[in-house]
Amino acid sequence: MLETFKALSDPCRLRLTAVLLAGEFTVQELTSIMDMGQSRISRHLKILAEAGVLNVKRQGTWSYYKVGETGSFFRLIRHAFEQELEKLPQRSQDLGAVAVVLEERRRRSQEFFDQHARQWDNLARTLLPVPEYRRQLLGLVPQEVSVLEIGVGTGGLLLELASRASKVIGVDHSPAMLEEARRRLTSAGSSRIELRLGEMTHLPLPDASVGCVVANMVLHHAADPAAVLAEIGRVLIPGGIFVLADLARHERESAREQLADQWLGFDEDELTGWLRTTGFVKVACERIEGVSGQETVLVVKAS
């Protein structure tokens, strides 16, 4: 208790904790959000982490800080703490700076995919090889329901989804990727699939409007994965199914620059925790191990 109170007694550390309740950020991003020097930010983060208020998540050479679960006393006071956040003098400024950082993450991703849309399929297979998992993924998609795929890329999965679904909507934030997907669908003579431009965190659909959402190898590109999962929960009908395929945690650092990956995969417990917080009750995860240099894939079904 004393360590927690001491850690939170500094105004800067209060602000830092409040910021990290809004997401996970690197030291560099926090220096921008807080408008402070790196050494000062690092010192405050160290104190908060030692008190159990924050956790550090290592992703290759990057370290992300987030509000922790190890500090038992902070867990007890967290609800009251969050209720008082709006009274912090610089709260609006800090939230605005958080939005700028998240928008920068999103912008970098969109620019990359717009630039590499034509070469994306070959680029992804070459630089981040994964085992074959499509059969398992499609097997989790229910028959004859409306399906939304987020982050369709060049549309490689859309036709197979259309063979199972009553209706398919594909959403992507890159106009160039959507154009490639549209070209593929036209070539295949498919007119049953609707493509829409939109963000993963602001899907262009009303509440409770689809029976199944599919996210195939896109969550590790998301600026804020937890916010994406919350948005997916919004558009699913009650009892709807969410099907996810993504990378398990890995250390292929080159994926950041070569493939615009924001995250080097995910832990099963991490994904399960986010999904349960979103409101999903049943979560099942299958690991599909990679061989000969391939990365392991997690295939998840949540409802």
Q: For the chain (length 303 residues), average pLDDT per consecutive 10? A: 91 94 94 95 95 90 87 86 89 95 93 90 85 94 96 94 94 95 90 92 97 97 95 97 96 87 94 94 95 92 97
Where in the chain are the domains?
Answer: 2-89, 120-302
What does the alpha-carbon distance between residue 157 and residue 177 come to, in Å, rounded to a whole number?
13
What does the alpha-carbon distance between residue 244 and residue 216 come to, in Å, rounded to a whole number?
6
Note the pLDDT of residue 216: 96
Domain with residues 2-89, CATH architecture: Orthogonal Bundle (1.10)
Helices assigned H by DSSP within 117-171: 120-127, 134-139, 158-162
- Determine contact, residues 147/169, Cβ cutoff 8 Å: yes
Residues 6+ apart with CB under 8 A from 292: none
Note the pLDDT of residue 68: 83
> 184 φ, ψ to 5°?
-65, -45
Is the domain defined by 120-302 classed in CATH 2.60.120.1440? no
- The helix/strand/coil state of 21 is coil
Among residues 293, 245, 286, the alpha carbon closest in space to that of 265 is found at 245
pLDDT in tens, 109-161: 999 999 988 888 888 888 888 999 999 999 999 999 999 999 999 999 999 99
> 193 φ, ψ to 5°?
-115, 130
What does the alpha-carbon distance between residue 91 and residue 227 come to, in Å, rounded to a whole number?
20
Note the pLDDT of residue 133: 94
Note the pLDDT of residue 260: 87
What does the alpha-carbon distance between residue 131 and residue 105 come to, in Å, rounded to a whole number?
28
Give Cα 167 to chain centroid, integer Å: 25
Taking 3-state DSSP, the helix, strand and coil percentages for the chain, each rounded to the nearest 5, stand at: 45, 20, 30
